[in-house]
Chains A and B, each alone.
Chain A
Amino acid sequence: MFERFLNWRMNYVVVLAVIVFAIPLVMENPFYYDMATQIAIIAATVVGLNLLVGYAGQISLGHAGFYGIGAYFSAIATTTYGWPPLLAMIVAAAVVGLVAYIVGRPILKLKGHYLSMATLAVGFIIAIIINNEGQMTGGPDGMPVAPFSLFGWELSSFGLYSFFGMAVPGHVAWYLVMAVILLIAVILAQNIIDSPLGRALRSIHGSEIAARTVGVDTARYKSLVFVISAIYASVMGSIFAHFSGFITPAIASFDYSIVLITMVVLGGMASPMGVILGAVALKLLPQFLAGFQEYETAVFGFILMATMIFMPKGFYPTAVNFVRGKLRKSGGEA
């Protein structure tokens, strides 16, 4: 029974579900919920990015651009034009998918540094457009966003809701909604990984030439996964815009793309649990380090460096391998 669970491909999803629903037991105040909700949003984004970076081995230094388009599309459509938020989110995802497909086809022919440069340029162009189209986007000072609502039911982190007769404050409601969305995002990603598409991606990661020789349409699969990860980013961008209530072009910036990539690399490439851990670490560190401001950047850099040197595969895979190794050893002795 236990053995079967250990070998089940979705076992970590159960663990994740237990963790996300147990966390409210230790959270003391609404600020913790606020952070946890943001972590869930960003974690779902990097789970999508991980499909591209971790599994297909293609780098994107412009992913914040897609996150930004999703956020700004939702913001402008709902706040300026009064669209229903869900519709805005879906249309935004479709638009981002299309943009990613159009730019993805040519640039994914590039490899290594050239691909990094091309995705970097895409991200920069999006950020510049958002910055300069002040009439629509509010320019560098940002713009306010209406709260999320569905059929007249509004989700605000300051509201009060009743759920099966239990009173649930808005910040808890937001967290629970986001926890469910994160689980869905992870299950979807795991299904993609286990599908023929996922196997094709891993073959591309291993060797693109070999993959092509055995008949994998590498160009098609690469642009497909690029589109999927861009849609992940777009949907999470839309959700973040509604959650935060105010967005600035910083969320589409190059810096933010780097933060996303760092989460993937730090947590552990090709491991959904790993990248979620990366998101948790990178989102919480600035809050912990707020106490000693002058050294924040230095400590942050030191942690990144130490991780890269001592855990080149990232936190999670290193930790898992360590535990596995211990288990095997003790098993061998017994």
Chain B
Amino acid sequence: MAKKSLMRRVGVLAATLTTSLLVSAQAAEPIKIGSFLSVTGPASFLGDPELKTLEMYVEKINEDGGVLGRQLELIHYDDVGNASSARNFAGRLIRSDQVDIIVGGSTTGATMAAVPLVEQAGMPFISLAGAVTIVDPVKKWVFKTPQSDRMAAERILWDMKRRGFDKIGLISGTGGFGASGRKQTLAVAEEYGIEVVADETYSPSDSDMTAQLTNIRNTDGVDAVLNFGFGQGPAIVTKNYAALDIQLPFYQSHGVASDSFLELAGGAAEGLRLPASPLLVPESLPEGDPQKPVVQAYKEAYEAHWDSSVSTFGGYAYDGLMLAVQAIEAAGSTDKEAVREELENIMGYVGVTGIYNMGPDDHNGLTPESFRILEVQGGDWVLVE
């Protein structure tokens, strides 16, 4: 009797030991997701919803049992919108924290500053920034979730062509986003048979663009006007545009696709069009649109968790995190080369921003059609198709 109980005790002890060893081995090795975002500073309207999204979904994934049976750990730094500190924090994530993958980089400058380090270290990196230079030419380790500014320009010009406009006036900010957007618009205009007859710029800190808009109005033959920029600039342009009572159709870029722009521009925004993520109009998406359930779920979850309205930029972070998770699951490990390969192999992932089909020469995976054309009607976004 005593012997049996001793045996049993040893057995139980051994079993507990093994399980506890197994559990601790698993618990000791979370999958480290590194991130550097512009949570404060001039680009905080990008970084803030991005961080909130990452925090919320990492928590959610962990509650549901993690990835590959391991928990996720988010290691995050705030680069304040400064490219040099973005580079330093990327170095810290790679070399000191030794993360498994990086999802971050709110602005193109911050992303590009980290690219040399990421490429040389061989670290899978999913950027959340806009410019086409991030993935063109293709960099082995660098992917990105937002559509590029080139696609935005293509989508706008496509809509203009559809409405029969041939000559346009362009006004753009001289900040990173506006300057790159201007370059891409000029580059793709010819393909669409559209002529840019007026080309004006403003500094991001300017408080009045009446002079530039007057120049455009006085140019002969302008059919429509396009403003490429983000921050407060486009809101001022919109107000000036209304004040000057210019009757030409007006387009904005995806840089202002948020509810806060509507608040800033007020009634002046009435009738303008822009390309945007379906996230702004989840209800108007047709039934059967594959993105509809994803977009609605994200919007509901975000708004319930943070009690603030959802923004397109948070959607980029959602897609970045989900792509990372999917690639790690497909790779079956956090081996960097395998994860990178699986990222490149992602086909038909339905995200908030669009449907991703990656490939060896396409590290973005989206098409211009993923942008929906929206029009402001009655102070709200309305889907135009």
- The answer to whether B174 touches A293, judged by C-beta atoms less than 8 angstroms apart, is no
Chain B residues contacting A245 (CB-CB under 8 Å) are: 116-117
Q: Does A11 contact B (CB under 8 A)?
A: no
Chain A residues contacting B77 (CB-CB under 8 Å) are: 290
- The answer to whether B88 touches A29, judged by C-beta atoms less than 8 angstroms apart, is no
- The answer to whether B91 touches A132, judged by C-beta atoms less than 8 angstroms apart, is no
Chain B residues contacting A144 (CB-CB under 8 Å) are: 112, 115-116
- The answer to whether A246 touches B83, judged by C-beta atoms less than 8 angstroms apart, is yes
Within 8 A of A (CB), among B97-137: 108-109, 112-117, 120-121, 131, 133
- The answer to whether B176 touches A141, judged by C-beta atoms less than 8 angstroms apart, is yes
Chain A residues contacting B117 (CB-CB under 8 Å) are: 245
Q: Does B183 contact A (CB under 8 A)?
A: yes
State A30–B97 Cα separation when bound (angstroms). 11
Chain B contact residues: over half helix, strand or loop, or mixed? helix
State A29–B91 Cα separation when bound (angstroms). 11
State A144–B96 Cα separation when bound (angstroms). 24
- The answer to whether B82 touches A156, judged by C-beta atoms less than 8 angstroms apart, is no
- The answer to whether A140 touches B95, judged by C-beta atoms less than 8 angstroms apart, is no
Known: A134-B179, A140-B174, A141-B112. A250 touches B92 (CB 8 A): no
Of the listed residues A30, A144, A246, A251, the one surrounded by the most CB atoms of chain B closer than 10 A to its CB is: A246
Chain B residues contacting A34 (CB-CB under 8 Å) are: 88, 91, 95
- The answer to whether A142 touches B116, judged by C-beta atoms less than 8 angstroms apart, is no
State A142–B116 Cα separation when bound (angstroms). 13
- The answer to whether B179 touches A139, judged by C-beta atoms less than 8 angstroms apart, is yes
Q: Does B85 contact A (CB under 8 A)?
A: yes
State A139–B40 Cα separation when bound (angstroms). 23
* Distance to closest chain A CB from B382 (angstroms): 33
State A134–B92 Cα separation when bound (angstroms). 30
State A139–B91 Cα separation when bound (angstroms). 24
Q: Does B89 contact A (CB under 8 A)?
A: yes
Chain B residues contacting A31 (CB-CB under 8 Å) are: 91-92, 94-96
Instruction: Identify the 9 closest CB pairs spanning chains A and B, nearest first.
Output: A245-B116, A31-B96, A31-B95, A140-B176, A158-B120, A248-B83, A30-B95, A141-B176, A139-B179
**13 contacting pairs across A/B (C-beta < 8 A):** A38-B88, A140-B175, A142-B83, A142-B113, A156-B120, A157-B120, A244-B87, A245-B117, A246-B112, A248-B109, A248-B112, A287-B92, A290-B78
Further contacts, 6 of them, CB under 8 A, given A141-B108, A250-B83, A286-B85: A38-B88, A157-B120, A244-B113, A246-B87, A287-B92, A293-B39
Q: Which residues of B line the A interface, CB within 8 A?
A: 39-40, 77-78, 82-85, 87-89, 91-92, 94-96, 108-109, 112-117, 120-121, 131, 133, 174-176, 179-180, 183
